[in-house]
Amino acid sequence: MSKALLYDSTVCIGCKQCEQACASQNKLPYDDTIAAEESQSAHKLTVVLTRGDKFMRRLCMNCKDPSCASVCPVGALQKTAAGPVTYDPSKCMGCRYCMVACPFSVPKYEWGKLFPKVQKCTMCPDRVAAGKQTACAEACPTGATKFGEREELIAEARQRIRESPGKYVEHIYGLEEVGGTSVLLLSAVPFETFGYRSNISKDPLPMLTYQVLSRIPEFVPLGGMMLGGIWWITHRREEVTLAEGRKPDTATKNGRKS
């Protein structure tokens, strides 16, 4: 089935090796200055946040039904069956609707470049396709970030919560958010502490636009017929008026339809 990542923030020691591994996997620069940055950006696709003695990773959630892929007019963003949400810069025209639409505000833009790309964690699609785990999971020294089958990881997360009462917030973030994501999070403190929004819908967001878009195929012929009908009636009325006043002019175009 589909692959996922489970990040257990209680196991994390904040060593940021995942950040470094991610940077080298995606051929992005990484040094002490970048390590100190506390936010995701076009050159930092994952970040380990620190609040006191608590840590939390932020990365693309690789949603099961991603808004970004749904809104991309050219299909540059795609959800793969294996789990990763991939990005093809050669297709992208830079409309940035993905950035607006993402409920987690994940996609970032190379604002400084003349021909910019969208940048986001794509869950190492090449590695996953080759049967390997993601770079961040491989680099993690404590197993805080674990790669595996989504269903198995969910079962494991549930078990961890069950076995240590009081240790975790009783919530697997990503289990149901926007219909489920391929990144699952466990935390000892509320997720809002690290900027994860709690008011997120349990239903996939793409339905909101698709239920409007899917009406178009029936709207077009119906609308066309209606407008054509109104045109016919109003012009026929005019003809009748003319005919009543003068002699009818039979050679007119009342048979023409749209």
Q: Which residues of the shown chain bind another protein in the complex (CB under 8 A)? A: 40-42, 67, 70-76, 91-97, 99-101, 103, 105, 108-109, 111-116, 197, 199-201, 205-206, 208-210, 212-213, 216, 219-220, 223-224, 227-228, 230-231, 234-235, 237-238, 256, 258
- Report whether 5 contacts 182 (CB < 8 A): yes
CB of 257 to another protein, least distance (A): 9
Q: Of 30 and 232, which has the nearer Cβ to another protein?
A: 232
Distance, in Å, from the CA atom of 162 to the CA atom of 185, rounded to the nearest integer, reads: 15
CB of 98 to another protein, least distance (A): 9
Q: Which of 203, 216, 235, 236 is nearest to 63 (CA)?
A: 203
Q: Of 18 and 42, which has the nearer Cβ to another protein?
A: 42
Q: Of 132 and 237, which has the nearer Cβ to another protein?
A: 237
- Report whether 165 contacts 139 (CB < 8 A): no
Beta-carbon count within 10 A of 149 CB = 14
Q: Of 13 and 208, which has the nearer Cβ to another protein?
A: 208
- CB under 8 Å to 67, separation ≥6 — which residues? 98, 101, 102, 103, 178, 205, 206
List b or e across 22-61, with b for residues whose CB sees 16 or more CB atoms inside 10 angstroms: bbebbeeebeeebeeeeebebbbbbbbbeeeebbbbbbbb
CB of 224 to another protein, least distance (A): 6
Backbone angles phi, psi at 7, to 5 degrees: -110, 120
Q: Of 90 and 163, which has the nearer Cβ to another protein?
A: 90
CB of 100 to another protein, least distance (A): 6
CB of 209 to another protein, least distance (A): 5
Q: Of 96 and 162, which has the nearer Cβ to another protein?
A: 96
CB of 108 to another protein, least distance (A): 5
Q: Are strands 183-186 and 3-8 parallel, antiparallel or unpaired?
A: parallel
